[in-house]
Structure 1
Amino acid sequence: MTKIKRNAALLAASTAVLALTAPLTATATAAAAAAPKPLDWTKCEGAETDPRQRCATLEVPMDYAHPKGEKIEIAVSRIPAEKPSARRGALFLIPGGPGGSGLNSPSDKGQRLPEQVRDAYDLIGIDPRGLAASTQVDCGLEHGDLAASKLRPWPAADGSITENMATARRTAKACARNGGDLIRNLSTANEARDIDRIRAALGERRISAWGVSYGTYVGAVYSQLFPHRTDRFVLDSNLDPDHTRVARAWNAGHEAGVEDTFPEFAKWASAPGNPDRVAKTAAEIRPLFLRLAERLDREPIPWPGANPEELNGNVLRQTMLNALYDPDRFAELAKLIRAARKGTVPPAPEGPPEAVLQNVSAVGAGTLCNDVAWPRSAAAYEKDVAASRAAHPLTAGMPRNAMLCAAWPFEPKEAPVRITDEGPSNILLVQNERDVATPLKGALKMREALGRRATMVTVNSTGHDAYLANGNECGDRTVSRYLATGDRPDQDTYCA
């Protein structure tokens, strides 16, 4: 998926604690698993794609507890294996998010895969339930509530979360009013069930997968629910799978992610010869950034065309968070810092169309809020935010704050899936050491949960998305070899 879509999807991150209902019954799950019809492949519509890519839609139950009830459509794409005599099966390219589109992944990121991998697998892309070419969901949020610094719950300059709680109530109410029955049936477990329905429609006994970011959690949940259906699984840029917190743990992880990654930005932004140089030494960058954010809290700069139409402290902090996803984006943050210090702003950034943001935000909200129940008490968030602000001033309390799930009007329909070491040992984790969105600290929790099922390749690199993106040659080679040949490291490996 594109970086724009990835970043828009990740705007909605966070989720919570207990108060869960019983899981789906075995009878309902078995009934839902009746074999679907084969897929009817046609030319893909819309964006330019590889001419070999074909698209189809698959009907799945909206609610797997009622498999004979209302149906929704899942959009699927495929580029067949390039060497039929070497074909092993289907490789699912599971997008991040929640809210990331993967329908065109076979045509873009799939073509970065080495020839030996493309020879062996049909490349399968999907738009998860609720998204884009699949049956869509929309919360109908106000324009201001689609701002990146609003979708992330940044506290007020004084640490107050009063406005965040009001935003949570307003946006959760909009999702309940406009999201229909579909928004209640968005969840990671249901996305995994949709993938298994696609597997069945493809006629595959087992599938392989490359899941990225939130896609690592989807892949882990699939491997837990359908272990006998897994072949070679690669989980890239891994999330903490804590079943008591789910995305609340992911959002909290930004504290460690920013602390791990900001020093790399500081080195880059102080390098001699850098046209976007911010300071003469790396040690100056952090206090400079913090002082500037505090000044913008007090004295925002008008920013026509942006959302919101001012550069305040939280907009600067959100820009920092976005830029740390990829070293190629460091210049974006440096240019904003340099302009703001002079009391000016660069041209307003271009974001996705509002209709795309509405859709992505709704999918993110429904998935995160339905996976596990969130605390409802403002006092709990106030305490966490205060502690977070004191320990991690760069993130200013945002990672522990309340998003719309704190006011979500629905209870989860089932308990979150607990990731364990039960199942075949066929998972390879790949993880950058410095990753702002899925930090190494959380990835090690995924490694621990999977136990004997997995080995892990830790890559000495900076940025989100390791394999064939922001990793290194050693990590890429290790993952490619596993997908192509099944040769996985016998033990956890470090790629320097």
Structure 2
Amino acid sequence: MTQRERTSRIRNAAVVGVSATLLGATAPMTASATSENPPRALTWSACEGTGLDPRQECATLDVPMDHARPGGPRIEVAVSRIPAEKPASRRGVLFLIPGGPGGSSLGDPSGKGQKLPQDVRDRYDLIGFAPRGLAPSTPVDCGVGHADLATVRLRPWPAPDGSVDENLATAERLSTACARNGGELIRHISTRDNARDLDRLRAALGERKISAWGVSYGTYVGAVYSQMFPHRTDRVVLDSNDDPDPARVARAWLAGHEQGVEDTFPHFAAWASAPGNPDRVAATAAEVRPLFLRLAARLDRAPIPWPGANPEELNGNVLRQAMLDGLYRPSRYPALAQLVRAARQGTVPPAPAAPPEPVLQNVTAVGAGTLCNDVAWPTSPALYRKDVAESRAKFPLTAGMPRNAMPCAAWPHPPREAPVRITGRGPSNVLLVQNERDVATPLSGALKLRQAFGGRAVMVTVNSTGHDAYLANGNACGDRTVSRFLATGVRPARDVYCR
């Protein structure tokens, strides 16, 4: 594996373990507003690092730190591309919008972009980027303490007795660190800012419109861009879709894990009880859930030391977090089952490799800034105690975490703008693709985005399991439908189900 590939895997692991968990009153900026201060054309050069497609080239674009003050301080956004492979058939650019918040698509033209069918790669320049605040774009860092970088701290798992006091204390520490160390940039990291940066990139690329493939949090960025700049969109694919609730935004995404686990755990249970499976944990699928709950409760009472991990023990919440991570895609089931089998014997596997701390610090800051600047979160401890108690009773597998307090409960900066409300105003050029069983962005939330878009969108629901559907954890029917839309513009006349 090349260094570049190792770095990419490390960053991807950090995104799953951190930012995916931290997770109009103001008139939206229009395309004409952006064109008042048109960006300079990009200067392309070879990309740094190894393991990239030799055709991939990189550049940086200066954008305003505060888009409301275009003459103020500037920051850099890193961008990459692989040009369309058949210039005579070129249609335009396809933005690969990453998940997170805290994910990067800078290497995606060389990576997932090469999984696209040839007729799609013939027609589009594939465009990747590192969103504002994320290295190698101008980075932000909160200087969080090492212990608070543990995923079970960033995901707000309550104490074994359901107490949220330590979660509220963690929120205060993290928010204070970001206010102290994040500088002015931490206040200007939001989904609206990301959408405006995309439009600056569009203009710098010399394009009237963009097509996009957004995944996970990238579906919300793509939806917000489509709302703010509707007539700058060509063909938009949103894959593994976030609930766009403008009153809650990321609170809705976190809450969605309750249903996501309920949708997905039975699939894991069937796999983990299948005869002949070397990682089998139970004789029947019905036994897997109570077995897991008993084991988590036992580890709440008597954690197992786990040298090299953060924290250095396998406790109930570490197991619950491993369950959540393990349900992201079936290829992770064996590692989850092996952890369960070891813990039942009172042992642990080798500690998982930790991403470099600077990566964790950067991803944590971008994630916290985005989630907390997009919408104001409740600050009442009583509300979180009530919600967590209700969640623990109804959804014991997630133990109250999805309704608990994140750093945003103590965030010192009020949002500068109201969240974007997604509507059906604009061209009908959006295709949603969604797996039925998705632990991170459940079908129930995706249906709310579909409803918000109204006539602008068509939805492809895929009978499959895992986060990220198109060309990843979906099925041939879903992949074929999305590929046809990107290559030809032909979209199903109505919502479809890919059995």
Asked whether the two chains share a fold, i.e. TM above 0.5, the reply is yes
What is the 5 A alignment of 1:17-28? 22-23=25-26
Partner of 2:75: 72
Deviation at 1:46, TM superposition (A): 2.2
Deviation at 1:6, TM superposition (A): 4.0
Query: Closer, same or farther in 2 for the Cα pair 1:174/1:345, shift >3 Å?
Result: same
What is the 5 A alignment of 1:157-172? 157-172=160-175
- Answering whether residue 386 of structure 2 is matched by residue 383 of structure 1, we say yes
Give deviations 1:29-66, integer Å, cap 9, x for gaps: 82675211100000001242100000000000000111
Cα RMSD (Å) of the superposition?
A: 1.6
* C-alpha distance in 1 between matches for 2:227 and 2:388: 33
- Answering whether residue 11 of structure 2 is matched by residue 5 of structure 1, we say yes
The equivalent position to 2:274 in structure 1, one of 271, 288, 292, is 271
Query: Closer, same or farther in 2 for the Cα pair 1:179/1:486, shift >3 Å?
Result: same
Query: Closer, same or farther in 2 for the Cα pair 1:349/1:206, shift >3 Å?
Result: same
* Partner-residue secondary structure (3-state), 2:19: coil
- Answering whether residue 147 of structure 2 is matched by residue 144 of structure 1, we say yes
Partner of 1:246: 249
Query: Closer, same or farther in 2 for the Cα pair 1:440/1:7, shift >3 Å?
Result: farther
Partner of 2:118: 115
**2:28·2:228 contact (CA, 8 Å) conserved in 1?**
no
Deviation at 1:9, TM superposition (A): 2.1
| Letter of the structure 1 residue corresponding to residue 465 of structure 2 | T
Partner of 1:187: 190
* C-alpha distance in 2 between matches for 1:231 and 1:88: 10
Query: Closer, same or farther in 2 for the Cα pair 1:344/1:25, shift >3 Å?
Result: closer
* Partner-residue secondary structure (3-state), 2:125: strand
* Partner-residue secondary structure (3-state), 1:429: strand
* C-alpha distance in 2 between matches for 1:352 and 1:116: 36
* C-alpha distance in 2 between matches for 1:354 and 1:5: 11
**1:117·1:483 contact (CA, 8 Å) conserved in 2?**
yes
Query: Closer, same or farther in 2 for the Cα pair 1:139/1:397, shift >3 Å?
Result: same
Give deviations 1:161-200, integer Å, cap 9, x for gaps: 0000000000100011110000000000100000000000
* C-alpha distance in 1 between matches for 2:28 and 2:468: 36
23-32 or 145-154: which moved more? 23-32
Residue correspondences, number: 492
- Answering whether residue 480 of structure 2 is matched by residue 480 of structure 1, we say no
**1:434·1:461 contact (CA, 8 Å) conserved in 2?**
yes
The equivalent position to 1:493 in structure 2, one of 484, 489, 496, is 496
Partner of 1:446: 449
Partner of 1:224: 227
| Letter of the structure 2 residue corresponding to residue 128 of structure 1 | P
- Answering whether residue 258 of structure 2 is matched by residue 255 of structure 1, we say yes
* Partner-residue secondary structure (3-state), 1:253: helix
- Answering whether residue 311 of structure 2 is matched by residue 308 of structure 1, we say yes
Give deviations 1:265-320, integer Å, cap 9, x for gaps: 10010011111110110000000000000000000000000000000000000000
* C-alpha distance in 1 between matches for 2:408 and 2:75: 24
Query: Closer, same or farther in 2 for the Cα pair 1:113/1:25, shift >3 Å?
Result: closer
Deviation at 1:132, TM superposition (A): 1.4
User: Which runs of 5 or more structure 1 residues have no equivalent in the other structure?
Assistant: none
- Answering whether residue 61 of structure 2 is matched by residue 55 of structure 1, we say no
* C-alpha distance in 2 between matches for 1:462 and 1:341: 27
* C-alpha distance in 2 between matches for 1:9 and 1:121: 27
* C-alpha distance in 2 between matches for 1:6 and 1:53: 20
| Letter of the structure 2 residue corresponding to residue 358 of structure 1 | Q
**1:263·1:282 contact (CA, 8 Å) conserved in 2?**
yes
**1:25·1:65 contact (CA, 8 Å) conserved in 2?**
no
What is the 5 A alignment of 1:395-410? 395-410=398-413
Provide the TM-score with structure 1 as the length reference: 0.97
* Partner-residue secondary structure (3-state), 2:80: strand
* C-alpha distance in 1 between matches for 2:185 and 2:278: 49
- Answering whether residue 371 of structure 2 is matched by residue 365 of structure 1, we say no
- Answering whether residue 436 of structure 2 is matched by residue 433 of structure 1, we say yes
**2:31·2:232 contact (CA, 8 Å) conserved in 1?**
no
| Letter of the structure 1 residue corresponding to residue 274 of structure 2 | A
Provide the TM-score with structure 2 as the length reference: 0.96
Deviation at 1:101, TM superposition (A): 1.0
User: Which runs of 5 or more structure 2 residues have no equivalent in the other structure?
Assistant: none
* C-alpha distance in 2 between matches for 1:342 and 1:269: 17
Deviation at 1:445, TM superposition (A): 0.2
* C-alpha distance in 2 between matches for 1:332 and 1:381: 32
Over the matched positions of the two proteins, sequence identity in percent amounts to: 73
